[in-house]
Amino acid sequence: MKILNLLVGGPIENWPQELKENTIEGPWIGVDRGSLRLLERGITPIVAIGDYDSMGTQEFQTVKERVKDIRRAIPEKDETDTELAVTVALNEFETDRLDIYGATGGRLDHFLANLFLVLKDRYRSSAPKIRFIDRANTITFYLPGEYEILKEPDKKYLAFIPLTPINHLTLVDEKYRLGHAKVLYPISYASNEFVGEKGHFQFDSGVMCVIQSKDVK
């Protein structure tokens, strides 16, 4: 499986341990301050996306000197830096999975823009490829169908979060089950758990977000 990683500029304290310890295999795309943080850790992103707005001129200069492929999102345009990065990743690198780090812990308008990105027409069919990962959460997305998912060893909780109206949501064998539920508005069915190592669920329409998480102090 071809995996591409993307680092956005959110607080470092929210990074998962593997990222702090620099043990995630590349390639990487950097977004805004994310490019600089990759460079500081000895990783040269294959593409850096961002503008002067979010970085100082000197910082931007550093990125320009060391990264071959620099793209700038236009702040006034109806596309965020992260969206441009996702577009580049999906269209130019044909990745099987896109793992996005640094998208949580700071501004919540940014986080929600990222979370809701998969609902846009141009990204929706790629939703299953996209994951957001931080120290406490792994966020994944599903289109209508029947699924078997695996418990992550370090996570305790499992949540099903319809981001749109969803029909016939069935949680087959989780700790708290649902049968053919009709969901009208976004809701987070939080604090569910796997029974064993696998879980099964299905639904007929809409977009489902699934989060595995653990407590942090």
- Residue among 3, 24, 70, 113 that touches its own copies (CB under 8 A): 113
Of 44, 34, 160, the residue nearest 99 (C-alpha): 34
In this structure, what DSSP letter does residue 171 have?
E
Q: Does 56 bind its own copies (CB under 8 A)?
A: no
Among residue numbers 118 through 147, which ones bind its own copies (CB under 8 A)? 119-120, 134, 136-137, 139
8 Å CB contact between 99 and 133: yes
Classify the C-alpha dihedral 158-171-161-208 as positive or negative: positive
Q: Does 191 bind its own copies (CB under 8 A)?
A: yes
Structure tokens at 60: 């931007």
- Residue among 11, 26, 56, 145 that touches its own copies (CB under 8 A): 11
In this structure, what DSSP letter does residue 112 have?
H
Which residues, other chains included, contact 190 with Cβ-Cβ below 8 Å and sequence gap of 6+?
157, 159, 161
Q: Does 75 bind its own copies (CB under 8 A)?
A: yes
Tell me the C-alpha distance between 77 and 209, whole Å.
27
- Residue among 40, 65, 94, 109 that touches its own copies (CB under 8 A): 109
| Size of site (CB under 8 A) for its own copies | 42
- Residue among 16, 144, 157, 172 that touches its own copies (CB under 8 A): 157
Binding site for its own copies (CB under 8 A): 11, 13-14, 75-76, 80, 104-110, 112-113, 115-116, 119-120, 134, 136-137, 139, 157, 159, 161, 163-164, 176, 185-188, 190-191, 209, 211, 213-217
